[in-house]
Amino acid sequence: MPASSPILATSLPQKQLTTSSPAGGFRLPPPEKLAILLDRSESVDLVQQIHAAILRHNLYLHPYHPVLNLKLHRAYASHDKIRHSLSLLHTTIDPDLFLFTAAINTASTNGLRDQAFRLYLQLLSSRIVPNEFTLSSILKSCSARSVKLIHTHVIKFGLGLDPYVATGLVDVYALGGDLVSARKVFDRMPERRSIVSCTAMLTCYAKQGDVEAARALFESMLDSDRDIVSWNVMIDAYGQHGFPSEALMLFRELLAEGKPKPDEITAVATLSACSQIGALESGRWIHVLIERSGIRVNVKVCTALIDMYSKCGSLEEAVSVFNDTTRKDIVAWNAMIAGYAMHGYSQEALRLFDEMQGTVGLQPTDITFIGTLQACAHAGLVEEGVRMFESMGQVYGIKPKIEHYGCLVSLLGRAGRLKQAYEIIKNMEIEADSVIWSSLLGSCKLHGDFGLGKEIAEYLIGRNITNSGTYVLLSNIYASVGDYEGVAKVRSLMKEKTIVKEPGVSTIEIDGRVHEFRAGDGNHLQSEEIYTMVRKMSEWIKSSGYVPDTNVVLQDLEKSEKEESLEVHSERLAIAYGLISTKPGSPLRIFKNLRVCSDCHTVTKLISKITGRKIVMRDRNRFHHFVDGSCSCGDFW
């Protein structure tokens, strides 16, 4: 090559490259130097200039070009110029395995599955043999269907024992729920399975909710092998599949072992477990632990804290974390809006919604609207809620989902606009589910429209669109009008179809331990003291004029028997236990898995007045704050 060739030109400082032009007399640095510049490029401008220079100087004919091209690809990708990085492949004559693999990997990691597959097929038709990097890259784009094909390629090219490829296969099979194939691949892996492949298999069980299989695999891993990722997967598996107490127990085990050190993901998983059971004390303890142990407090940890404090009944602490969170993203805003909504602070939720858009400039998502619509529903802001619902599509281009319709139906139903709510359910594009029907049925009961209630319930039962809630509500409706024949009919129907009413469970956390109560429960160690307090409570409230609301009792019992059954509702047992085990004047926080019944609601108001305690009660739908004889829900829930 002649000495004047740009390829052999002397090196050029980076800033001069930006002003260089062939006419300007500058010389292009050698390709090796360009490669270094690309690796270090801080702006996409420089990448584009180098790209232009490569083309202008015919560098694509240079033997070093494949390496340069690969660097160019990575540089574009690292600046999020995915299209630029992928288009390199089209402008390259005879792209090699490395460029193909890099492009497939870039497409896969950026969710461009179809393109990844097109590139993979193009590679095969160019008669290039893929390697383990290529296959692990294409595996990231596989679906449950395409994985079979790629698996045959893995075998054909003899890559089945490569840990990366095998882990990729386990991962894809797991995603499609094919536990058997995932396990087969896993079991065939070489003797010393890597911690990563074990964790991939563990994740597979976790995603399927098979916590027992997950725990068995977790136990089979040597202590020395378990790193924080595997602990996190196991803790989260419990938390996400209905075993939040087990998640917290395992977390305590991790702390007791002393290693590995929990990280921010452990924090999120355990906080979520606390949210589910309303374990405020445990949640606070984890918060302190986070601050003391130097865990990186990112926005996800903050959101988990906001959610935990909201769901555990301490809105004040949720707000405090929210205010201290820097760089709040939409998820953090959504969590805070939902927090305000579930506590009945509707105006605050709506104010935040405005602030988020106006001051911060964040666009709401469909989840934001679940929060704001719920806020409207809980405060009876009918017009505002309807406007909000309409604005979703008209202003924000967001298609309402069943959850949004659910909020709207609840909003209208609560306001007594039953016919309108009924029409919405009948006319919506999405098929109604039992949740939305139950909501309307509940409203029918609330407003005493037994005619419509019966019509709907019988329609649902006739079409088998039911859950235990629908039956219970229908039975309730019959009971409210004293139609015990109807009640009996529903009960025998439930028996016939083996529908079991979900048992009501109330919980209260005392000294970091969660205590569970079911109606009439005698299992607690301090049962005797609890029942003494229950009877004391009955005397207090009766002397303040309480009359039991026996209508809420479904069974066909004598009046006195109905009163007795009300007296031992799970909420009342939990309150009694709270009263005997905490200091006078301190607030009580009770959690109920179902909706609080209207009789317990009345009783709790009275107890709050008589004892001077603030009682915070979370039920299936929302929070009730009982203070001095009244409730934040305004007796309308």
Rounded distance between C-alpha atoms, residue 547 and residue 255, angstroms: 50
Q: Which stretch binds DNA (CB under 7 A): 192-200, 456-464, 557-565, 606-614?
A: 192-200
Taking the complex as a whole, the smallest distance from the CB of residue 232 to DNA amounts, in Å, to 4
Backbone angles phi, psi at 213, to 5 degrees: -65, -40
Taking the complex as a whole, the smallest distance from the CB of residue 475 to DNA amounts, in Å, to 16
Taking the complex as a whole, the smallest distance from the CB of residue 297 to DNA amounts, in Å, to 9
Task: State which residue, 229 or 574, has the beta carbon closest to DNA.
Answer: 229
Taking the complex as a whole, the smallest distance from the CB of residue 212 to DNA amounts, in Å, to 19
**Token code pair at residue 368:** 């934001």
CA distance readout (Å), 47 to 14, 38, 54, 76, 508:
11, 6, 11, 7, 60
> ω into residue 22 within 30 of 0, thus cis?
no
CA within 13 Å, CB half, 182: 25
Judged by CB under 7 A, the chain residues 200 through 229 that form the site for DNA are: 200, 203, 227-229
Taking the complex as a whole, the smallest distance from the CB of residue 131 to DNA amounts, in Å, to 8
> Which of 49, 92, 115, 136: binder of DNA (CB under 7 A)?
136
> Which of 9, 195, 428, 465: binder of DNA (CB under 7 A)?
195
> Which of 163, 209, 380, 486: binder of DNA (CB under 7 A)?
163
Applying CB under 7 A, does 335 fall inside the site for DNA? yes
Applying CB under 7 A, does 406 fall inside the site for DNA? yes
Task: State which residue, 153 or 300, has the beta carbon closest to DNA.
Answer: 300
Judged by CB under 7 A, the chain residues 556 through 615 that form the site for DNA are: 595
Task: State which residue, 186 or 577, has the beta carbon closest to DNA.
Answer: 186
Task: State which residue, 335 or 452, has the beta carbon closest to DNA.
Answer: 335
* 150 contacts: CB under 8 Å, gap ≥ 6: 135, 138, 139, 142, 169, 172
> Which of 35, 99, 338, 575: binder of DNA (CB under 7 A)?
338
Judged by CB under 7 A, the chain residues 78 through 117 that form the site for DNA are: none
Binding-site size, DNA (CB under 7 A): 76
Rounded distance between C-alpha atoms, residue 525 and residue 116, angstroms: 61
> Which of 272, 506, 507, 538: binder of DNA (CB under 7 A)?
272
Task: State which residue, 579 or 597, has the beta carbon closest to DNA.
Answer: 597
> Which of 334, 466, 475, 608: binder of DNA (CB under 7 A)?
334
**Token code pair at residue 511:** 């000294």
For 608, the 3-state DSSP assignment is helix
Taking the complex as a whole, the smallest distance from the CB of residue 95 to DNA amounts, in Å, to 18
Q: Which stretch binds DNA (CB under 7 A): 64-72, 344-352, 399-407, 547-555?
A: 399-407
Taking the complex as a whole, the smallest distance from the CB of residue 396 to DNA amounts, in Å, to 15
For 196, the 3-state DSSP assignment is helix
Rounded distance between C-alpha atoms, residue 487 and residue 480, angstroms: 10
Rounded distance between C-alpha atoms, residue 590 and residue 594, angstroms: 12
Applying CB under 7 A, does 132 fall inside the site for DNA? yes
Taking the complex as a whole, the smallest distance from the CB of residue 109 to DNA amounts, in Å, to 8
Rounded distance between C-alpha atoms, residue 243 and residue 248, angstroms: 9
CA distance readout (Å), 159 to 150, 199, 261, 370, 445:
11, 20, 35, 47, 64
**Token code pair at residue 264:** 């921010």
**Token code pair at residue 78:** 């690292």
Task: State which residue, 7 or 301, has the beta carbon closest to DNA.
Answer: 301
> Which of 41, 137, 141, 506: binder of DNA (CB under 7 A)?
137
> Which of 41, 141, 245, 303: binder of DNA (CB under 7 A)?
303
Applying CB under 7 A, does 164 fall inside the site for DNA? yes
Taking the complex as a whole, the smallest distance from the CB of residue 175 to DNA amounts, in Å, to 9
Residue 191 DSSP symbol: S
Task: State which residue, 115 or 346, has the beta carbon closest to DNA.
Answer: 346
* 296 contacts: CB under 8 Å, gap ≥ 6: 263, 264
Q: Report whether 422 contacts 440 (CB < 8 A).
A: yes
> Which of 20, 92, 115, 230: binder of DNA (CB under 7 A)?
230
> Which of 436, 576, 617, 631: binder of DNA (CB under 7 A)?
436
**Token code pair at residue 449:** 């429209």
For 10, the 3-state DSSP assignment is coil
Q: Where are the alpha helices (DSSP H) in 264-365?
A: 264-277, 280-293, 299-311, 315-324, 330-342, 346-358
- H/E stretch holding 630 reads strand 630-631
Classify residue 61 by burial, with Cβ atoms within 10 Å: 0-12, 13-18, 19+. exposed
Taking the complex as a whole, the smallest distance from the CB of residue 483 to DNA amounts, in Å, to 23
- Pattern 240-269, binding to DNA, x per CB under 7 A? x----------------------xxxxxxx
Burial 213-227 (b: 16+ CB within 10 A, else e): bbbebbeebeeeebe
Applying CB under 7 A, does 405 fall inside the site for DNA? yes
Judged by CB under 7 A, the chain residues 369 through 398 that form the site for DNA are: 370-371, 374, 377-378
| Beta bridge partner(s), residue 591 | 507, 618
Spatial CA neighbour of 149 closest among 183, 117, 189 = 117
Rounded distance between C-alpha atoms, residue 79 and residue 253, angstroms: 42
Applying CB under 7 A, does 442 fall inside the site for DNA? yes
Rounded distance between C-alpha atoms, residue 524 and residue 530, angstroms: 9
Taking the complex as a whole, the smallest distance from the CB of residue 633 to DNA amounts, in Å, to 11
> Which of 41, 115, 181, 438: binder of DNA (CB under 7 A)?
438
> Which of 275, 466, 476, 604: binder of DNA (CB under 7 A)?
275
> Which of 86, 301, 530, 597: binder of DNA (CB under 7 A)?
301
Taking the complex as a whole, the smallest distance from the CB of residue 281 to DNA amounts, in Å, to 19
- How many other C-beta atoms can be found within 10 angstroms of the C-beta atom of residue 616? 24
Rounded distance between C-alpha atoms, residue 315 and residue 297, angstroms: 20
Rounded distance between C-alpha atoms, residue 276 and residue 346, angstroms: 22
Task: State which residue, 199 or 245, has the beta carbon closest to DNA.
Answer: 199
Applying CB under 7 A, does 199 fall inside the site for DNA? yes
Taking the complex as a whole, the smallest distance from the CB of residue 485 to DNA amounts, in Å, to 27
Applying CB under 7 A, does 329 fall inside the site for DNA? yes
State the pairing for strand pair 615-618/505-510: unpaired
Task: State which residue, 301 or 534, has the beta carbon closest to DNA.
Answer: 301
Rounded distance between C-alpha atoms, residue 495 and residue 499, angstroms: 6
Task: State which residue, 328 or 562, has the beta carbon closest to DNA.
Answer: 328
Judged by CB under 7 A, the chain residues 458 through 497 that form the site for DNA are: 469
Task: State which residue, 122 or 194, has the beta carbon closest to DNA.
Answer: 194
Applying CB under 7 A, does 194 fall inside the site for DNA? yes
Task: State which residue, 232 or 506, has the beta carbon closest to DNA.
Answer: 232
For 627, the 3-state DSSP assignment is strand
